């Protein structure tokens, strides 16, 4: 690393209110961690990958993850799985975590699930959406690891298409969007291209879908420009801001730009945590909140991103 680069990093560290050298003086102001705990209390993690999962090792289990969220006072967690629906297990985990909360004198945490329309549930399968709703599922996520666009980006063949050759939404997906709208569920537009995302977004609005989230628009292969995100927000979609434990997949500068320019009223917080390489979800959420505050996002805006907007999608 060049010496000037080292020097620039040190200057940034010393400017941070997380760390004050002794030369800053005895009355140097330190970062107030109570701000973080206040926002974490009642926060909602809109996107967690806990164990078990068929395609990759995850941690912790649904139950342990929900207990950890309950311990710090989080209002709700949403469990997502690439391979199987999560709503049935969410009901059972909620019952167990409620008992844990009663034993430990904690406020209860809601546990929500949904279905991801990958090959494990038959792809674009309307019946999977019906079953999801009947079991209390809140989310319907479009194909992720099995989407044609995702597979193309990974250099593999095949995958689930969402548009026909004319660029129109496929009939079976239209049926799914209609079901989501009728049931009041939330549509998660996931590992699709920009063209696909906007075609689906427009069709969803026509068919009565009122709750829409575009997942990780700040993540490399699925990145939307700021202008594209503004357009999607104007159409009623929330931008899912996931920290991935502030890993190499998290572009801090671009994410900050999204929050400031697209607006906190159009952003919703999640961790996308659960991989063994990353923090457990509750710690990832704490870091995400801490990062937003330290980056200068006002507390009221962080509250909106971490609490208010997610509640609009879930309740």
- Range from 92-101, 155-164, 216-225, 287-296 carrying the lowest mean pLDDT: 216-225
Q: Which residue has the tokens 């710090």?
A: 72
Q: What is the mean pLDDT of residues 87-104?
A: 97
**Percent of the chain at pLDDT exceeding 70:** 90
pLDDT tier for residue 214 given thresholds of 50, 70 and 90: very high
Whether the pLDDT of residue 12 is over 60: the answer is no
Whether the pLDDT of residue 20 is over 80: the answer is no
pLDDT digits (tens, 9 = 90+) for 142-192: 999 999 999 998 899 999 999 999 999 999 999 999 999 999 999 999 999
Structure tokens of 235? Answer: 């159409």
Give the full edge-to-edge strand order of the sheet including 44-48: 44-48, 76-79, 110-112
Q: What is the mean pLDDT of residues 298-304?
A: 98
pLDDT of res. 9: 36
pLDDT of res. 60: 92
Whether the pLDDT of residue 3 is over 60: the answer is no
Whether the pLDDT of residue 314 is over 50: the answer is yes
Going along the chain from its start, the domains and CATH numbers come out as 35-314 (3.20.20.140)
- Within a 10 A sphere around the Cβ of 52, how many other Cβ atoms? 13
HEC string for the chain? CCHHHHHHHHHHHHHCCCCCCHHHCCCCCCCCHHHHHHHHCCCEEEEECCECCCCCCECCEHHHHHHHHHHCCCCEEEECCCCCCCHHHHHHHHHHHHHHHHHHCCCCCEEECEEECCHHHCCCCHHHHHHHHHCCCCEEECCCCCEHHHHHHHCCCCCECCECCCCCECHHHHHHHHHHHHHCCEEEECCCCHHHHHHHHHHHHHCCCCEEEECCCCCHHHCCCHHHHHHHHHCCEEEEEECHHHCCCCCHHHHHHHHHHHCHHHEEEECCECECCCCCHHHHHHHHHHHHHHCCCCHHHHHHHHHHHHHHHHC
pLDDT tier for residue 52 given thresholds of 50, 70 and 90: confident
| Residue/partner pairs of 49-53 with CB below 8 Å, 24 or more apart | 49/79, 49/80, 49/81, 49/82, 49/272, 49/273, 49/274, 49/275, 50/79, 50/274, 50/281, 51/274, 53/81, 53/82, 53/83, 53/274
pLDDT tier for residue 221 given thresholds of 50, 70 and 90: confident
């Amino acid at each position: 690393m060049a010496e000037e680069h080292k020097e620039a990093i040190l200057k940034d560290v010393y400017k941070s209110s997380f760390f004050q050298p002794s030369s800053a003086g005895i009355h140097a102001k330190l970062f107030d961690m109570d701000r973080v705990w206040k926002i974490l209390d009642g926060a909602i993690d809109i996107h967690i990958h806990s164990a078990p999962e068929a395609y990759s090792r995850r941690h912790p289990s649904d139950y342990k993850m929900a207990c950890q969220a309950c311990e710090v006072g989080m209002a709700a967690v949403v469990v997502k799985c690439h391979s199987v629906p999560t709503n049935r297990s969410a009901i059972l985990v909620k019952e167990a975590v409620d008992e844990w909360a009663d034993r430990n004198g904690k406020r209860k945490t809601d546990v929500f699930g949904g279905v991801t329309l990958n090959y494990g549930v038959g792809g674009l399968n309307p019946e999977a959406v019906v079953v999801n709703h009947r079991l209390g599922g809140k989310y319907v996520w479009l194909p992720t690891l099995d989407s044609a666009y995702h597979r193309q980006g990974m250099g593999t063949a095949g995958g689930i298409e969402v548009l026909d050759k004319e660029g129109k939404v496929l009939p079976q997906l239209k049926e799914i969007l209609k079901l989501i709208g009728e049931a009041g569920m939330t549509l998660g537009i996931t590992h699709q291209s920009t063209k696909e995302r906007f075609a689906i977004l427009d069709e969803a609005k026509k068919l009565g879908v009122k709750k829409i989230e575009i997942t990780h628009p700040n993540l490399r292969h699925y990145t939307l420009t700021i202008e594209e995100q503004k357009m999607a927000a104007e159409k009623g979609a929330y931008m899912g801001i996931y920290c991935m434990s502030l890993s190499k997949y998290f572009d801090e500068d671009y994410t900050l730009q999204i929050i400031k320019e697209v607006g906190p009223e159009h952003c919703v917080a999640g961790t996308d945590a659960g991989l063994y390489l990353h923090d457990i979800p509750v710690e990832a959420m704490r870091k995400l909140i801490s990062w937003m505050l330290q980056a200068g996002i006002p507390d009221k805006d962080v509250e909106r991103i971490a609490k208010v907007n997610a509640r609009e999608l879930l309740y």
